[in-house]
Homo-oligomer: A and B are copies of this chain.
Amino acid sequence: MEIVLPEDRYFGPDEKQKKIAMQLYASVAHLPLVCPHGHVDPRMFSDPNYSFGSPADLLIIPDHYVFRMLYSQGVPLEKIGVPRTDGGAVERDHRAIWQTFAEHFYLFRGTPTGAWLAYELRVVFGVTQQLARETAQEIYDHIADKLTQPEFRPRRMFERFQIEVLATTDAATDPLAQHQAIRASGWHGRIVPTFRPDGVVNLDAPGWRQNIDALSAISGITVMSYATLIAALENRRAYFKQMGATATDHAALVPTTEALSATEAEMILQRALAGQATAEDAQRFTGHMLQEMARMSIEDGLVMQLHPGSLRNHNLAIFSRFGLDKGCDIPTPTEYARNLRPLLNTYGNDARLSLILFTLDETAYARELAPLAGHYPAVKLGPPWWFHDSLNGMARYFDQVMETAGLYNTAGFNDDTRAFPSIPARHDVWRRASVNWLAGLVARGYISARDAEEMAHALAYDLAKRAYKL
């Protein structure tokens, strides 16, 4: 893949429209980055001398966006240095891993991962050569050298990237020691946690019983009943909030919601504590806890995010050999109108709730999600997620969501990444895609240029801050 990063990249070719897009882009390109949802490790910022390791450590080995593409073309994950759960041998020569990557770089032509990598190499690391078989080692040296320099420590890059706030994602049982250390360090970067209770509220989560014990231990409330579970969760939410959290995050294969009676909830929980919960128990309890989380959000003001529809670990061979998040999670058809109805009928009219919905099933954009967001005061739509966090994914989102939901029922952008240096690349794609969409509306006489400017600012900055109460 040849890197091309022209100044007018990602804008439609029509000259008139492009001129409008360029003007809009100039008005938002330098705004600070608001990063309300992602998976960056807070350890990067708690230790002022944290090092990213080698170029392969930083850009390849931990990034499932990258290695899944090589894997799909027959490159074993071992050869890319992805660690095995059994500690078995994998490639340890990071130069060899980098060489493999370079030789397969053509696979990323026309992909969002390719676009992000191009930005990271050229803009973040100042690589001027094309990455190819012959140049791989020279570029490796170049990046490795950069990574030894103080300005490539995470805190300096955070400042250079102009990140105004960065939210991590943290288990309900996490002591948030890294966040405490960041606060104690006197560094002024704003890193906030996000409360993710899946491990304790989804009865079928791996290690649920141990998670419950950990929850008891960290909250000081022994979880032995539904009431104590609720109390422990409320305790943790309060702590997260005290540590700066403004949001929670929830996953579910199916976004079903249901208010169980207190008796039912208790009975299911007791079965689970006794190791006897059924699959139906788990689904109903998760649906019930989503309702409870909405209730708590109304009380404590934490924004609630819902990320449903991913069939995790589709490839069991890869899962058993390499563990979670190895590029084999596959989206599934996801229904929202009926599934969310119980929750929305209970809490959806309360503007104190901010429920941000995501989808991996784009068919729901125009059919269910935009109509829900365009009606319920509590509902906002999150940006295109995961596989759809791409130029075309964004174009489809703007096309299918905005006319019905209205811009102001959306939640701006979030980068949702664990690849820290890709953050500015991802926001840049979003900002360019946003202004390109708006320029198209202006060029077609749908909106005025002044409205477009305000909308561009909203998409780049305001909507995310407002939706996440940042």
- Chain A: residues with CB nearer than 8 A to chain B? 1-6, 8-14, 16-17, 68-69, 71-74, 106-112, 115, 311, 314-318, 327-333, 335, 337-338, 341, 344-345, 348-349, 351, 360-363, 366-368, 370-377, 379, 387-388, 390-393, 396, 399-400, 402-404, 406-409, 440-441, 443-448, 450-451, 454-455
Contact = CB atoms under 8 A, between A and B. Distances in A.
Contact of A13 (B16, B368, B400): B16
Nearest to A10: B444
Given A4-B447, A12-B14, 5 more contacts: A1-B447, A4-B446, A110-B455, A111-B403, A392-B399
B373 A72 contact: yes
Copies in the complex: 3
Contacts of A455: 109-110
A210 B441 CA distance: 50
A71 B111 CA distance: 39
A399 B392 CA distance: 6
Nearest to A317: B349
B4 A445 contact: yes
A113 to B, nearest CB: 9
Contacts of A12: 13-14, 444
16 contacts: A14-B14, A72-B376, A74-B377, A109-B406, A311-B337, A311-B338, A314-B337, A315-B376, A316-B345, A317-B345, A318-B349, A327-B374, A332-B368, A387-B404, A393-B403, A396-B399
Contact of A445 (B6, B112, B407): B6
Contacts of A3: 448
Of A9, A362, A367, chain B has the most CB atoms within 10 Å of the CB of A367
Contact of A314 (B69, B341, B400): B341
A314 B108 contact: no
Contacts of A17: 13
B368 A330 contact: yes
Contacts of A448: 2-4
A332 to B, nearest CB: 5
A415 B69 CA distance: 28
Contacts of A376: 72, 315
Nearest to A335: B333
Contacts of A377: 71-74
Contacts of A351: 74
B374 A68 contact: yes
Contacts of A403: 110-112, 387, 390-393
A107 B406 contact: yes
A84 to B, nearest CB: 15
B109 A447 contact: yes
Contacts of A446: 4, 9-10, 110, 115, 391
Contacts of A318: 349
A440 B13 contact: yes
